Amino acid sequence: MIALRDLVIFAGLMALAAAVVASLFPAREGVSPVPACSDCALKLTGGYWIRQYGNYASLYLGTREAARYGWAYVDGRPLSVGESVGCDPMYLWVLNGIAYVSCNGNSPAFGREVGVLAPAAAVDISADSSGPGCTYTADVVSNVMNGTVVTLDVYNSYGELVYSASGAAPTSFTFSVPAAGTYRMHVYAPPLLDSWYTLYAGVQISGTKFVVYTGNNTQDLRPAVSLKVFDLTGFWERGYGSVVVYVDPGMRSFTLSAPTGAFADFLLAWEDCPNCDPTYGALYVDEVWRLTFTQSGPVLAHVFSQGGYWHKVYADGQLIWTWNMQGPKQTTYNGANPSIDVRFASQASAMDAEALFTKTCSWS
Amino acid sequence: MWSTAYGLIALAVVAFVVLYAASHAPSFASVNLADQLYYAKSQLESSLPSLPRTDKPAYFRVYSNIVRIEVANATYGNHSFPVELPLGYRLAAREENLLYEIYLDVESCRPVSLQGGGAAVLYAVELRQSVDVLPWLAVYYADVNAAAYYGQLYSLYRAWGRPPAVGLDLGAPLSKAEWALVYNATSGSDVLYVAAPPSSPYIVVEDYPLAIPLACPR
């Protein structure tokens, strides 16, 4: 009687014999062939390797070619022609006939990155002109969670560092530039972010019958120009203690000393008559005012008055100064807004002039 | 006694051979890329109305699965109310063997006159896609009069108390739009040009089943 024991012994001996016979083959044959597929995932053990040829890649077991694919990639890198890669176990993904080999089991992803998931950092800048000077805010956000260190440097037009700060993103930097001018801002968080921005802090002037100078002007520009605006901000930025401004052909001058902590500074020289004074007479000195944008707002201050006609000086539409007539004699006007409107009215109405000074803070 | 021992030894040998053969046979699983791609896109499609929306350029440059919007004033009759105009998308979905990323951003939108003499609005949309071949890109425009559409949006605004998003919060019947995909070698990106009727409130770029509405910035 044949017992179960005898069957087991017989099967064991047969399997042993099969294994011995298989191991005697010159190439180590696998126990089953590699399935042919165009989209599949395989785990191969027993000494498989892949070799790239000019227009195909071959998967070998020992010396026997097991399968052919379009091209072979190893850990995301395409193999060069003649290159071979083998590992045990070998993970093989076949997608659209292309073989992706991985030795550690990380599955390859089909599709390239177009930057949606890439590590990045970016800046949003906003400017505020309502407070003293110009206030800028730089919001830095990053999708890298381990606290990317962001540094922000601000340089003035002479290349001097005026503000510097750093912090871990996401963060926000707020700083105000004290004086009008052009600033360069550098925001960097290597290797994610390295950008330069230009900040414009200044006073925009619009109006009628006026010209802006950044130095002396002694020309007789009547009748087109009745108001000369001298922008002194640049002198104070360069560190002058005082300046002498020549305003008329008669070389009349005004000496002005540096204001402390001013954002911008202007001298306003106005002429009241289109033809009555000789060309080399006292021109553009009938009303002389100084407009200083201080940290608390614009301040309009009286410097000098003369002339035979009556004058009226308005600030923000309000009559503050009269000459040769009944009316207010206010020598200082403090503006409440970041902008101020200055208007000069003359008995000779052809010389009426108006200038609107608006503090502007912008960036690009 | 001895025969039992022989039996056990034989059993061990058989077990070894079977285990050895099993561990050395190639293990096989089929990979269905088309299903994975469809699943990634349909997942994105279903999450589209609930994605975070931002009007800050920095946020749109950094985060993924985000919609760039612009809040604009719309009018319905003599009512003025805010609406969100979707202008850009950064979408990504990862499957086992697939990375699906799509980047869409309206670069410009301007009225043009067509060769036939009609008027149209020409959208220029920057398009980047991770799966190189856009198989069957379809582009539609909302075939609805903007005034009527904004009337429906106004009732949404009244109901919700917050600005509704054009195209994302309220759909409309779609019609095929004329489009062209132009590859720009200088910037390395594709620009999708779409001509839509001036009365249409938005267009839809569809990589089926993902349909992405885009509006015209004000």
- Interface probe for A, chosen from B24, B37, B66, B128 (most Cβ of A below 10 Å), is B24
Instruction: In whole angstroms, give the CA distance from residue A152 to residue A171.
Output: 11
Dihedral-angle region of residue A97 (phi above 0 means left; psi in -120 to 50 means alpha; beta otherwise): left
pLDDT digits (tens, 9 = 90+) for A283-298: 888 999 999 998 888 9
**Rounded to the nearest 5°, which phi and psi values hold at A233?**
-55, -40
Instruction: In whole angstroms, give the CA distance from residue B211 to residue B209.
Output: 6
**Mean of all residue pLDDT scores within chain A:** 87
Instruction: In whole angstroms, give the CA distance from residue A255 to residue B13.
Output: 111
pLDDT digits (tens, 9 = 90+) for A121-177: 999 999 998 877 889 999 999 988 777 899 999 998 888 999 999 999 889 999 988
pLDDT of residue B16: 84
- Interface probe for A, chosen from B54, B99, B128, B129 (most Cβ of A below 10 Å), is B99
pLDDT of residue A348: 86
pLDDT digits (tens, 9 = 90+) for B129-178: 888 655 578 999 999 988 899 999 999 999 999 999 999 999 999 999 99
Other beta carbons less than 10 A from residue A308's beta carbon: 12
Q: Measuring CA to CA, how many Å separate B153 from each of B51, B54, B149, B167, B217?
A: 19, 20, 6, 10, 17
| Helix (H) or strand (E) run with residue A84 in it | strand A84-86
Scanning every residue of chain A, which has its alpha carbon at the shortest distance from the alpha carbon of B15? A12
Does B62 contact A107 at a Cβ distance shorter than 8 Å? no
Mind telling me how many Å the CA of A101 is from chain B's nearest CA?
13
Q: How confident is the model at residue B2 (pLDDT cuts 50, 70, 90)?
A: confident
Does A15 contact B18 at a Cβ distance shorter than 8 Å? yes
Scanning every residue of chain B, which has its alpha carbon at the shortest distance from the alpha carbon of A123? B58
pLDDT digits (tens, 9 = 90+) for A97-127: 888 898 888 888 778 888 888 889 999 999 9
Hey, what amino acid is at A217? N
Does A116 contact B90 at a Cβ distance shorter than 8 Å? yes
pLDDT of residue A169: 82
Residue A228 has pLDDT above 80, yes or no: yes
Does B101 contact A15 at a Cβ distance shorter than 8 Å? no
Instruction: In whole angstroms, give the CA distance from residue A207 to residue A341.
Output: 9
Token pair for A313 = 């000086």
* Sheet arrangement for strand B137-142: B174-176, B137-142, B202-207, B210-215
Instruction: In whole angstroms, give the CA distance from residue A174 to residue A136.
Output: 6
Q: How confident is the model at residue B98 (pLDDT cuts 50, 70, 90)?
A: confident
pLDDT of residue A297: 87
Size of interface A-B (CB pairs under 8 A): 143
End-to-end CA gap in chain B? 94
Q: Measuring CA to CA, how many Å separate A207 from each of A180, A210, A224, A285, B105?
A: 20, 7, 13, 19, 41
Does A111 contact B102 at a Cβ distance shorter than 8 Å? no
Q: How confident is the model at residue B6 (pLDDT cuts 50, 70, 90)?
A: confident
Does B6 contact A5 at a Cβ distance shorter than 8 Å? yes
> Which residues in A lie closer than 8 A to residue B101 (C-beta atoms)?
111, 113-117
Scanning every residue of chain A, which has its alpha carbon at the shortest distance from the alpha carbon of B94? A109
Q: What is the mean pLDDT of residues A330-357?
A: 91
pLDDT of residue A224: 87
pLDDT digits (tens, 9 = 90+) for A236-281: 888 899 999 998 888 888 999 999 888 999 999 998 888 877 767 7
Are the beta carbons of A155 and A186 closer than 8 angstroms?
yes
Are the beta carbons of A242 and A257 closer than 8 angstroms?
yes
pLDDT of residue B33: 82
pLDDT of residue A94: 86
Token pair for A140 = 């830095």
pLDDT of residue A44: 85
Does A113 contact B25 at a Cβ distance shorter than 8 Å? no
What ipTM score was computed for the predicted complex, to two decimals?
0.76
Are the beta carbons of A86 and A103 closer than 8 angstroms?
no
Q: How confident is the model at residue A32 (pLDDT cuts 50, 70, 90)?
A: low
**Mean of all residue pLDDT scores within chain B:** 89
Q: Which of A5, A93, A111 sits opposite B3 (nearest CB)?
A: A5
Hey, what amino acid is at A98? I
Q: Measuring CA to CA, how many Å separate A68 from each of A37, A99, B91?
A: 10, 9, 35
Candidates A243, A172, A242, A177; CA nearest to A213 is: A243
